[in-house]
């Protein structure tokens, strides 16, 4: 049986992974639309959030990358205001 502390650790890991992926996807989408200075900034955000998700959340990097790609695709498909 899973105790309360173990469930909260799983929730923290999932929220760090998905929240970090969403943050990186927002920056990547904005960089795609606006270009310029946002491109290196979005790469830095992607790398920094990915490292935080890996070291503090235990999220696998390939899962983080796939989640970021999926969320970026959804954001671009829905459309961002210019």
The domain ranges of the chain are 12-78
The dihedral through the CA atoms of 71, 76, 80, 82 has a sign that is positive
Q: How far apart are CA 35 and CA 38, in angstroms?
A: 6
Distance of CA 31 to the CA centre of its chain: 15
Listed residue (76, 43, 56, 30) closest to 19, CA to CA: 56
Q: How much is the pLDDT for 55? A: 84
The pLDDT value given to residue 72? 83
Tell me what pLDDT residue 58 has: 79
> Token digits for 70?
């999926």
Residue 82 is predicted with a pLDDT of 64
pLDDT tens, the chain, 82 aa long: 678 888 888 888 778 778 888 888 888 888 888 877 778 888 888 888 888 888 877 788 888 888 888 888 888 888 766 6
Residue whose structure tokens are 């989408």: 29
């Amino acid at each position: 049986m899973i105790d309360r502390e173990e469930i909260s650790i799983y929730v923290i890991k999932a929220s760090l992974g998905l929240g970090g992926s969403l943050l990186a996807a927002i920056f990547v989408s904005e960089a795609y639309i606006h270009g310029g200075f946002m491109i290196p900034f979005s790469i830095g955000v992607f790398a920094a959030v990915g490292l935080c998700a890996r070291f503090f959340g235990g999220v696998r990097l390939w899962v983080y990358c796939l989640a970021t790609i999926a969320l970026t695709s959804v954001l671009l498909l829905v459309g961002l205001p210019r």
